[in-house]
């Protein structure tokens, strides 16, 4: 038995080394998109917004309001994070590539997302606004920031190519509004609430709205 112990120990060590090597091979090398956003937002918090490399989701009106807004460093950091996050894969736009598209590092410990906007449709219809819309672009046209909170509202533009509310994709344009309010802690998201125009998305997907208790024309039952 004593002679077998060194052999067993050596075999076990080789096994763990192989596991660690495989794990390292699978892990992305370098910063994730979330990491890049955090770094850029920290820099932006100490930079005049007029000199920012603006995330593409921000409209001209939003840029103007932030530049003229006299925001604190905390607010500027949170604003930049929000706009970069809303830009999705279009950020950064300078050719820099993240090792992973993950934005999990933006979430503070205890992060909660109690209201999920169009993603909440999945629980009711088995498909949602994100999966059914391709070539999506978010255009943020309203932004308010105060202290640890940022409110933004944007227009989602894309094409109906997947299932929405049970309606198959038809390639038509989608143009609907969604909004969110985010609370930050130390530059990371602590909680995030969404509200979306589900009715507009439903009708653009092909749904019809009727009121059976109302006459079609005035004066008729």
Close Cβ partners of 39 (under 8 Å, ≥ 6 residues apart): 31
Would you tell me how many other CB atoms lie within 10 Å of the CB of residue 127?
A: 18
The predicted-structure confidence for 68-79, as pLDDT tens digits, reads as follows: 999 999 999 999
Give CA–CA dist 195/179, Å, rounded: 5
What are the strands of the beta sheet with 188-196, ordered from one edge?
Answer: 107-116, 188-196, 173-185, 149-160, 133-146
Which is it for the CA torsion 57, 61, 62, 68, positive or negative?
positive
Placement of tokens 């008729």 in the chain: 220
Q: Is 54 left (phi over 0), alpha (psi -120 to 50) or beta?
A: beta
Model confidence, pTM: 0.79
Give CA–CA dist 89/91, Å, rounded: 5
The pLDDT value recorded for residue 15 is 45
Burial of 174 (0-12, 13-18, 19+ CB in 10 A): buried
Q: Is the pLDDT of residue 36 over 90?
A: yes
- Model confidence at 58, pLDDT cuts 50, 70, 90, reads very high
CA 44 and chain centroid, separation: 19
The predicted-structure confidence for 103-142, as pLDDT tens digits, reads as follows: 999 999 999 887 666 665 656 665 555 678 889 999 999 9
């Amino acid at each position: 038995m004593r002679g077998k112990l060194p052999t067993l120990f050596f075999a076990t060590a080789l096994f763990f080394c192989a596991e660690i090597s495989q794990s390292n091979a699978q892990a992305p090398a370098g910063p994730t998109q979330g990491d890049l956003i955090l770094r850029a937002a920290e820099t932006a918090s100490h930079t005049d917004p007029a000199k920012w490399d603006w995330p593409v989701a921000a409209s001209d009106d939003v840029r103007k309001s932030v530049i003229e807004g006299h925001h604190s460093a905390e607010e500027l950091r949170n604003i930049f994070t929000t706009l970069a996050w809303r830009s999705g894969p279009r950020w950064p736009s300078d050719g820099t590539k993240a090792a992973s598209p993950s934005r999990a590092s933006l979430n503070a410990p205890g992060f909660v997302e109690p209201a999920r906007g169009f993603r909440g449709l999945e629980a009711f219809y088995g498909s949602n606004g994100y999966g059914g819309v391709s070539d999506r672009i978010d255009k943020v046209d309203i932004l308010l920031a105060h202290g640890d909170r940022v409110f933004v509202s944007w227009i989602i533009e894309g094409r109906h190519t997947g299932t929405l509310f049970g309606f198959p994709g038809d390639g038509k344009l989608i143009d609907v509004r969604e909004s969110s309010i985010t609370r930050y802690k130390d530059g990371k998201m602590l909680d995030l609430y969404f509200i979306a125009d589900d009715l507009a998305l439903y009708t653009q997907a092909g749904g019809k709205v009727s009121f059976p208790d109302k006459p079609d024309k005035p004066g008729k039952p």
